[in-house]
Amino acid sequence: MVILLKSLFVLAGIVILILLAFRMKSDKAVMAALPDNYKEILESYVQFYRQLDEMRKREFEKRVEQFLLDVKITGVNAVVEEIDLLLIASGAIIPVFSFPDWRYINLHEVLLYPGTFNRDYDQVGESRSISGMVGTGPMQHKMILTKWQVRQGFINNNDANNTAIHEFAHLVDKMDGTFDGVPEIILERKYVKEWRQLMEKTIHHMKTHGSDINMYGATNPVEFFAVISEYFFEQPALLKTHHPDLYSMLTRIYKIEL
């Protein structure tokens, strides 16, 4: 009987050790996506992260890590450094931070170019003005970002520009199947009409009177939504003062007060 009990204890011990080993292995696999100095980089460059309390900072880190496990980031004539990984993932998480279960199921890979490119994806030569794009056709499920512009978007906090946030706002918009500046996947149906009208009114005002909003936003509602999302996350106080109605609709869309 004593021998039997002893064997049972030994067996239970082995089972516990095996379970622990498995747990450690899976923890390690999750942690592997983040570089060692991730807190330092986020704290130094990501204003949105800096303003979170400790609990929400941990949540942000986990979401950044999950993004990096889900989406491959590939350099095209560019070396992908740790800071690039963290800034791209931050640009992805900031717009959807209030949606805890959000996953970018429409994105598999981000291609990182060194600088601007043209419509044929040329990285050298004339007329290179594109700093980011969400892929369509053969580029479906891919996004192109440029290293220089992604970094500038986070380093310079005195403007309302952030290329990464711009492109991820496009992806959020696209997620409902229509690319129209109305992110119905996150915007309650009752506000859709009001949002469309507000976009049209503002675009018209921009074209006729000019604006402090980046004029690229007056191109069409798709670009307006991405541009105004940059403004909202980069300069929320300014947006609230200059365009209270836009600010208030964006708090409804992104379910966050900034």
Residues that bind Zn ion in the complex, under the rule CB under 5 A: 223, 226
- Least separation in angstroms between residue 223's CB and Zn ion is 5
- Least separation in angstroms between residue 108's CB and Zn ion is 20
DSSP the chain: -HHHHHHHHHHHHHHHHHHHHHHHHHHHHHHTTS-TTHHHHHHHH-HHHHTS-HHHHHHHHHHHHHHHHHSEEEESSS---HHHHHHHHHHHHGGGTT-TT---TT--EEEEESS-B-TT--SSSS---B-EEE--GGGTTEEEEEHHHHHHHHH--SSS--HHHHHHHHHHHHTTS--SS--TTTS-GGGHHHHHHHHHHHHHHHHHH--SS-GGGGS-HHHHHHHHHHHHHH-HHHHHHH-HHHHHHHHHHHT---
For Zn ion, give the closer residue by CB, 63 or 170.
170
- Least separation in angstroms between residue 166's CB and Zn ion is 6
Q: CA dihedral in degrees (247, 248, 252, 254; nearest 10)?
A: 20
For Zn ion, give the closer residue by CB, 136 or 248.
136
- Of 166, 173, 134, 169, nearest in space to 150 by CA: 166
For Zn ion, give the closer residue by CB, 90 or 162.
162
- Least separation in angstroms between residue 169's CB and Zn ion is 8
For Zn ion, give the closer residue by CB, 37 or 220.
220
- Least separation in angstroms between residue 222's CB and Zn ion is 7
For Zn ion, give the closer residue by CB, 90 or 131.
131
- Least separation in angstroms between residue 94's CB and Zn ion is 16
For Zn ion, give the closer residue by CB, 63 or 174.
174
